[in-house]
Amino acid sequence: MRNKLTTFSILAITLIVFLTFLVSGCITNGSTDDQAKTITVTDMEERSVTLKYPVERFVLMDSTCTAEFSSVYGEGFDSKIVGWDNYLRENSGDMYEKYVEKFPAMAEIPDVGSLDDNTFNAEKVIALNPDVVIMPNWEFMWNGEATKEALARMDQAGIPVVFLDFYMEPLENSTKSIQLLGKITGKEQRAQDIVDYYEEKVNSVYSRLEKIQGKKPTVYVECAYNGPETYGISYGDVAWGDIVKKAGGDNIAEPVLLNKSKALSAEYLVNQSPDIIILTGRNWSTPGSLRMGYTFTSNVTKSTMTPFINRPGWDTINAVEKRKVYGIYHGYCSDVFNFVALETFAKWFYPEEFKDVDPVDTLKEYHRKFMPIDYSGTLVYSYY
């Protein structure tokens, strides 16, 4: 009898231990599943952000980020954007047109307004129930108070906000921003492929520049948004100014503007007489602006650039006298294509050392590899 009880006791204890282990295992697996549904990342404002993983519903508060988002996400990206601002449509209508042509449903993505013009509609964003709102960190420089207010509203609603940076420190933070997109979308390998391509091109430029000795060419960059009558903003050690420096140029705006963006006076420009002038163009609606982009021919770009070159006093500037005036797509100072801007600038600054480099070929290759739309139009341009 004792032996039977002992055997029964042993079996009972074994069963209890097994059930305890089984239940414990289920709880652990459940806990793991719960943890797998969220991810915590550090964004480009050094903020720790916890959000759903992988993210399925995005609001883009710089809709020109569609280029990066679609490159990283790949097939099906268009169904993940549930809201965006009007920036792509209003300032890059050529790119917007290309996307909508291929993905017609994108024309129906709700417009949630913009921080730039105080039309941002927090209630509309909340109603869209996004998993995350993507913002560019340049908003703090241009629209600081509106950005802080929008951030507070999203925080109150429990909607995570992730900041990216392709503008403030473009050549340092673009790859980090791409990797961040890859991390939150679960497309880390795709993001790494883009980063590898980017770094290969950038490092190739840097390795050549290291071998170049002598005086750097002086450079003036102007956002040709306003038309020739009004000087557009130039750039200190930020955005285009940062790319000028990294490409081996001497930016004439930096001593005056430091790390700000502001228009320079005509007198200062003429007196400085830079060796190279670069005007940035886009599909802007402002009369007289420089037209560049996916839907513009080189003839259109040339005809809209001519009035800038004919400004009073420009005929005395070294860049005009030596026929070194160029145009580049304005978006390239605030998106992943800044690596093409670096390559292009280096070629313009040091044509002999980069004579075998063709930035247009680079653009075409990147589009083939990573973009859902085809390359077309005029995105880099030499006036002469």
Question: Which domains are present in the chain?
Answer: 38-186 (3.40.50.1980), 212-382 (3.40.50.1980)
**pLDDT at position 285, please?**
84
What pTM did the predictor assign?
0.86
Peptide bond into 54 cis (omega under 30): yes
Q: What is the dihedral sign for C-alpha 221, 226, 229, 231?
A: negative
**pLDDT at position 36, please?**
54
CB within 8 Å of 177: residues ≥ 6 apart? 44, 68, 164, 165, 166, 336
Q: What is the dihedral sign for C-alpha 22, 27, 28, 33?
A: positive
Are 143 and 115 spatial neighbours (Cβ–Cβ below 8 Å)?
Answer: yes
Are 333 and 170 spatial neighbours (Cβ–Cβ below 8 Å)?
Answer: yes
pLDDT tens, the chain, 384 aa long: 434 434 434 444 444 333 333 333 322 233 344 445 999 999 999 999 999 999 999 999 999 899 999 999 999 999 999 999 998 998 889 999 999 999 999 999 999 999 888 899 999 999 999 999 999 998 887 787 889 999 999 999 999 999 999 988 888 999 999 999 999 999 999 999 999 999 999 999 999 999 999 999 999 999 999 999 999 999 999 999 999 999 999 999 999 999 899 999 999 999 999 999 999 999 988 999 999 999 999 999 999 999 999 999 999 999 999 999 999 999 998 899 999 999 999 999 999 999 999 999 999 999 999 999 999 999 999 999
| Helical H segments across the chain, by residue range | 2-36, 66-73, 87-91, 93-102, 122-127, 139-142, 144-156, 170-185, 188-209, 240-246, 254-257, 266-272, 298-309, 318-321, 338-349, 359-370
End-to-end Cα distance, the chain: 107
CB within 8 Å of 143: residues ≥ 6 apart? 115, 116
